[in-house]
Amino acid sequence: MPINITLVVVLAVIYAAGFYLLMQRSLMRVLLGIVLVGHGANLFLQAAGGPAGEPAKVGKALGAASDPLPQAMALTAIVITFAVTVLLLALAYRSSVLLKDDEVQDDVEDRRLRRAPETEDEPASVISLREGEP
């Protein structure tokens, strides 16, 4: 079976857009990225299944029957994507209620370690621990 170049380009664009959105700081953009990557996975699994064949029948030869495994994997991917989407929606809602913003902020400890001076033989995390800060 020849590879459909249009399908490959569409999959590449969907995955690229999804991964770009996953790298953003806004939880809603991360949610949209997860949804796009999930849809890309479903499309990839359906494309990997090949062309449609005859349904499997009891008592008949399975010469040209279609493979049910990619369809089962796509259904599983749909359920997993739906569950992750609901979880991220709940997190985004909770974040917007508590913080009035859905943007993920830098951790205070990460910012402090980034500003700590380093020497040649000790990294910043060791210096900050020796200064008595928890």
- Domains of the chain as residue ranges with CATH: 1-51+68-103 (1.10.287), 107-134 (no CATH)
H-type alpha helices, the chain: 5-22, 27-48, 69-99, 108-115, 124-130
Judged against a pLDDT cut of 60, whether residue 8 lies above it is answered with yes
Structure tokens at 44: 């990839």
What is the SS3 assignment for 22?
helix
DSSP 8-state code for residue 132: T
pLDDT of residue 125: 54
Confidence of residue 124 (pLDDT cuts 50, 70, 90): low
Report which residue type is found at 93. Answer: Y
Judged against a pLDDT cut of 90, whether residue 21 lies above it is answered with yes
59-110: per-residue pLDDT in tens? Answer: 666 666 777 788 888 899 999 999 999 998 898 888 888 888 777 777 777 7
Q: Considering the chain, what percentage of its residues have pLDDT values greater than 90?
A: 26
pLDDT of residue 66: 74
